[in-house]
C-alpha cells in the first residue's frame, strides 16, 4: 500500500487533501498539521488548521468560507459580546465551540493534543491519519509597526508582535509584516507518529499551503525538516502562487517578511533543492520551469486551480506522477 505524508495548513491544504484522497483512495495518508495558528480564546484551545482539515475531510466544513462549520450559528459569540467579552473579530460559531470545549477538556485532563485530535477524528472520520506537528505549544507571532507607540530615537516606528490570527483576521494582513516568529518551535518536539510516518513514507507532498506560516512552521519543529530531507523518498510540492499572486489568502505579505518574492519559482528556491525534489507550477507559470530545474528541482507546469474535487484530484495525480519520475 502506498504511504503518503502531507504537510498541511488550513484551507489550501484541506482542499488538496480531499482531491488526494479521491485520487488514491487506497493510499495510507498521514497529515502533519500546522498548529502555529492555534489560539487560546475564552479559556479554550482553538486549532484552526487541524479543524479545517478535519471538517473538510469529514464533510462538516462551511464550503464557501473554507473554515468553520456548515450551518453555523453564533449565539454564544453574541452572548459573550453582550457581556463585553471579545475578541469580536474572530468568528467562533456555536457548533465549532463544541469542538474547542471537548479539546480543552481533554487537554485539561492530561491528554496530549495528538490524542485529542485522534479522539475528535473518531467522530469526523476524515479518511486520513491527522497528526498535529507537535504536542507542545507553538504560536506564530507577526512583527508589525505599532501605530500607538512613539517612534524611537532613530525616528523609526516602534514595533510590536501580534498573534498570527490578529494579523490575518483582524488586520487582514493590511500592514507590512517585518518578521514571522513561530514562538516555542525551537524547543518543540514532533508529535508521536510524525517522524515514524515520514520514515515509512513512499512520498512526501507539500500542498499549495502557505510556505511561511503553514508549511514553514511545521518545518521549524526541530527534526521534521531533517527527517523529510533524509527520508530518501521523493518530496514534491505544489505552488500556492499562480501568476505572481497567492491563489488565496495573503501569502505575499508573509513571504515578503522572510525576503521571498511572490512567485512560484521563488517559493521553490525558498524550500530549496536540499528538501524539494519536484515542484508543480501552474500552466501560466510555464516560463519558470527551466529556472526551477536549473536550481536542481524537477518541475512541471500543470493546471493548479482547485476549482472542484475532480480538478484537485488531477493535481494530486500529477504530483504523484512527478514523484514517480523523481524516484525512477
Q: Which residues of this chain interact with ligand FO1, rule CB under 6 A?
A: 9-10, 37, 46, 48-49, 51-52, 67-68, 90-92, 96, 165, 168-169
As measured in angstroms, the least distance from the Cβ of 51 to ligand FO1 is 4
Q: Are 231 and 32 in contact (CB under 8 A)?
A: no
Contacts of 280 (CB under 8 A, 6+ apart): 236, 237, 238, 239, 299, 300, 301, 302, 304, 315, 318, 319, 322
3-8 and 28-33 as β-strands: parallel, antiparallel, unpaired?
Answer: parallel
Q: Is 154 annotated as a binding residue?
A: no
Rounded Cα distance between 88 and 77, Å, is 8
Kind of pairing, strands 139-145 and 159-163?
antiparallel
**CB nearer ligand FO1, residue 9 or residue 234:** 9
**Cβ closest to ligand FO1, residue 131 vs residue 299:** 131
Closest distance of CB 215 from ligand FO1, Å: 11
CB of 55 to ligand FO1, least distance (A): 8
CB of 25 to ligand FO1, least distance (A): 26
End-to-end, the C-alpha distance of the chain in Å comes to 18
Cβ proximity to ligand FO1: between 96 and 285 the closer is: 96
* Of 68 and 278, CB closest to ligand FO1: 68
Q: Which one, of 187, 244, 236, lies nearest residue 215 by Cα?
A: 236
> Minimum Å distance from CB 50 to ligand FO1?
8
Measured CA angle at 19 (ends 29, 244), to 5 deg? 110
Q: State which residue has the least CB distance to ligand FO1.
A: 10
Q: Which is nearer to ligand FO1, 168 or 231 (by Cβ)?
A: 168
What are the binding residues? 51
Amino acid at each position: 500500500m502506498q504511504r503518503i505524508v502531507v504537510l498541511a495548513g488550513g484551507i489550501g491544504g484541506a482542499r488538496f487533501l480531499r482531491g488526494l484522497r479521491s485520487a488514491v483512495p487506497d493510499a495510507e495518508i498521514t497529515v502533519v498539521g500546522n498548529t502555529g495558528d492555534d489560539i487560546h480564546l475564552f479559556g479554550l484551545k482553538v486549532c484552526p488548521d487541524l479543524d479545517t482539515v478535519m471538517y473538510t475531510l469529514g464533510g462538516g466544513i462551511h464550503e464557501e468560507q473554507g473554515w468553520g462549520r456548515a450551518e453555523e450559528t453564533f449565539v454564544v459569540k453574541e452572548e459573550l459580546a453582550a457581556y463585553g467579552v471579545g475578541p469580536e473579530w474572530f468568528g467562533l460559531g456555536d457548533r465549532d465551540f463544541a469542538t474547542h470545549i471537548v479539546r480543552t477538556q481533554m487537554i485539561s485532563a492530561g491528554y496530549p493534543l495528538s490524542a485529542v485530535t485522534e479522539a475528535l477524528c473518531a467522530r469526523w472520520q476524515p479518511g486520513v491519519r491527522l497528526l498535529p506537528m507537535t504536542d507542545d505549544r507553538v504560536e506564530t507571532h507577526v512583527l508589525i509597526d505599532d501605530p500607538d507607540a512613539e517612534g524611537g530615537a532613530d525616528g523609526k516606528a516602534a514595533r510590536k508582535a501580534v498573534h498570527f490570527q490578529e494579523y490575518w483576521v483582524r488586520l487582514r494582513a493590511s500592514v507590512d509584516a517585518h518578521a514571522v516568529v513561530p514562538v516555542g518551535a525551537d524547543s518543540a518536539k514532533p508529535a508521536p507518529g510524525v517522524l515514524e510516518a515520514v520514515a515509512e513514507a513512499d512520498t512526501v507532498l507539500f500542498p499549495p499551503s502557505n510556505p511561511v506560516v503553514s508549511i514553514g512552521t511545521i518545518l521549524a519543529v526541530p527534526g521534521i525538516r531533517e527527517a523529510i530531507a533524509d527520508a530518501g523518498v521523493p518530496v514534491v510540492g505544489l505552488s500556492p502562487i499562480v501568476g505572481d499572486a497567492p491563489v488565496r489568502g495573503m501569502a505575499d505579505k508573509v513571504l515578503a517578511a522572510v525576503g521571498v518574492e511572490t512567485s512560484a519559482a521563488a517559493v521553490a528556491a525558498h524550500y530549496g533543492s536540499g528538501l524539494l525534489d519536484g515542484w508543480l507550477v501552474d500552466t501560466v507559470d510555464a516560463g519558470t520551469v527551466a529556472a526551477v530545474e536549473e536550481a536542481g528541482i524537477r518541475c512541471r507546469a500543470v493546471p493548479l486551480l482547485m476549482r472542484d474535487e475532480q480538478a484537485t484530484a488531477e493535481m494530486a495525480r500529477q504530483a504523484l506522477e512527478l514523484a514517480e519520475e523523481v524516484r525512477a
